[in-house]
C-alpha cells in the first residue's frame, strides 16, 4: 500500500547576511534579513514498504540527483527498506538566490512526515531541513524564515533550538529577475576571501536593520551590501541603479539576480531587456502541509 503526503515551502530571498561558523550544523548558519516568496517548491512524497530500499526523485517531471532532497529522505526513512518517490514542482531557477534548495528540503521533510505518519514535530522537521542544507553546502539561512513567512530578521543563526528569527507580516508585490549565469552557493561559501568580505559588512547591517525593520531599509541595506562585498557584477549593479527610477531593488543572495518592488510594470519593462522575469508576492504563511 502506498501512503502519500504533500507540502509547500515558499522560496526565500536574502538581502544581506553574515556567516556564522559552528561545527554543529544545527548551530551553524547566518544572521541576515530577507523575504519569503509566494513562489516556492511543492512536493508530493509517496512511500511503500519494499524488499529493498529505493529513492526516485523527479523535479519538474525530470529525474534529478537532488542531493539535499535525497539526504532529507534518507534521514527520515532511516534503516527501513522502503520505496520512496518524490515529485517536486517549482517555477524558480536554482542557484539564483531564491532559496530553492531550502524549500525543497523543507517541503520534502513535511511531505515525508505526512506520508509516513511519523509524527515528528514541526520544529524537528525544520531543524532537519536546515541541518541537511548546511551539510550539503547549499545554504545557511533560508529554511527557518521560509518555515514562518513574511519579512524576516535572522538575529541568531541556526535551526530551531539554536537560532532566533523575528518575522514581520508584509504585503508587497515583487518582481524576480535573473540577469546572469547561476551562482552556486557552495562555491561562495567555500571561498575565504568572499566570506571575509561578507562578514566585514554583514553583521553591522543586521544590527542596523534590527533598529527599525522596514521594507525600505531592507532594500537600502541590501544595495549597500551588494556593492561593498563585491558580490554584484557590473550588470546587476547597472540594473539596481536603473531600478531607482521606478521602485526599489536589490540583489538576491546568492545569485546573479535581483528582487524588486514598486512600479512593477515599469520595472518589468526594464528587466526584460536583461533577462528572465517572474512575478510573485510576499508569502506570510510559511511552509505548510497541503
Please give the pLDDT value at position 2: 84
The predicted structure's pLDDT at residue 68: 97
At residue 212 the predicted structure's pLDDT band, cuts being 50, 70 and 90, is very high
| Candidates 2.60.40.420, 3.20.20.70, 3.30.230.120, 1.10.287.3510; CATH matching 1-290 | 3.30.230.120
**Per-residue model confidence as pLDDT tens digits over 272-286:** 998 889 999 999 999
Does residue 185 carry a pLDDT above 90?
A: no
pLDDT for 183: 85
The overall average pLDDT reported for the chain is: 96
Model confidence over 138-170: pLDDT tens digits?
A: 999 999 999 999 999 999 999 999 999 999 999
Which sign does the torsion angle of CA 53, 57, 61, 63 carry? negative
Domain range list for the chain: 1-290
DSSP string over 163-205: -EEEEE----EEEEEE-SS---HHHHHT-HHHHHHHHHHHHHH
pLDDT at 189 over 90: no
Judged against a pLDDT cut of 90, whether residue 186 lies above it is answered with: no
DSSP E strand stretches across the chain: 3-20, 29-49, 54-59, 62-63, 82-89, 151-156, 164-168, 173-178, 247-251, 257-262, 276-281, 288-289
Cβ-in-10-Å burial (0-12, 13-18, 19+) of 271 comes to: buried
Q: Determine what percent of the chain is predicted with pLDDT higher than 90.
A: 92
Q: Tell me, what's the pLDDT at 184?
A: 81
**Does residue 19 have a pLDDT over 90?**
yes
Grid cell at residue 222: 541590501
Question: What pLDDT digit, counting tens, does each position of 163-175 carry?
Answer: 999 999 999 999 9
Between β-strands 173-178 and 276-281, what pairing exists: parallel, antiparallel or unpaired? antiparallel
3-state secondary structure of 88: strand
Task: With a cut of 90, say whether residue 110 has pLDDT above it.
Answer: yes
pLDDT score of 88? 98
What is the per-residue pLDDT for 238? 95
pTM (two decimals): 0.96
pLDDT of residue 1: 78
For residues 26 and 186, which has the higher predicted lDDT (pLDDT)? 26
Amino acid at each position: 500500500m502506498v501512503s502519500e503526503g504533500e507540502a509547500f515551502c515558499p522560496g526565500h530571498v536574502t538581502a544581506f547576511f553574515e556567516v556564522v561558523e559552528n561545527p554543529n550544523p544545527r548551530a551553524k548558519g547566518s544572521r541576515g534579513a530577507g523575504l519569503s516568496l509566494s513562489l516556492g517548491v511543492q512536493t508530493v512524497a509517496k512511500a511503500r514498504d519494499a524488499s529493498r530500499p529505493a529513492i526516485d526523485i523527479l523535479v519538474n517531471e525530470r529525474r534529478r540527483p537532488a542531493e539535499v532532497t535525497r539526504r532529507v529522505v534518507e534521514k527520515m526513512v532511516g534503516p527501513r527498506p522502503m520505496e520512496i518517490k518524490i515529485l517536486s514542482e517549482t517555477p524558480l531557477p536554482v542557484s539564483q538566490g531564491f532559496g530553492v534548495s531550502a524549500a525543497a528540503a523543507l517541503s520534502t521533510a513535511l511531505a515525508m512526515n505526512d506520508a509516513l505518519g511519523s509524527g515528528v514535530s514541526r520544529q524537528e522537521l525544520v531543524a532537519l531541513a536546515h541541518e541537511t542544507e548546511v551539510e550539503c553546502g547549499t545554504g545557511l539561512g533560508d529554511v527557518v524564515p521560509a518555515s514562518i513567512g513574511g519579512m524576516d530578521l535572522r538575529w541568531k543563526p541556526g535551526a530551531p533550538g539554536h537560532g532566533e528569527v523575528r518575522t514581520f507580516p508584509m504585503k508587497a508585490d515583487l518582481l524576480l529577475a535573473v540577469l546572469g549565469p547561476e551562482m552556486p552557493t557552495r562555491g561562495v561559501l567555500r571561498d575565504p576571501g568572499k566570506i571575509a568580505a561578507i562578514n566585514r559588512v554583514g553583521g553591522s547591517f543586521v544590527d542596523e536593520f534590527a533598529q527599525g525593520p522596514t521594507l525600505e531599509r531592507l532594500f537600502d541595506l541590501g544595495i549597500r551590501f551588494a556593492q561593498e562585498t563585491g558580490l554584484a557584477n557590473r550588470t546587476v549593479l547597472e540594473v539596481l541603479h536603473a531600478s531607482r527610477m521606478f521602485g526599489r531593488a536589490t540583489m538576491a543572495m546568492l545569485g546573479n539576480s535581483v528582487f524588486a518592488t514598486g512600479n512593477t510594470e515599469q520595472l518589468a519593462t526594464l528587466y526584460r531587456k536583461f533577462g528572465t522575469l517572474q512575478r510573485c508576492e510576499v508569502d506570510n504563511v510559511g511552509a505548510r502541509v497541503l
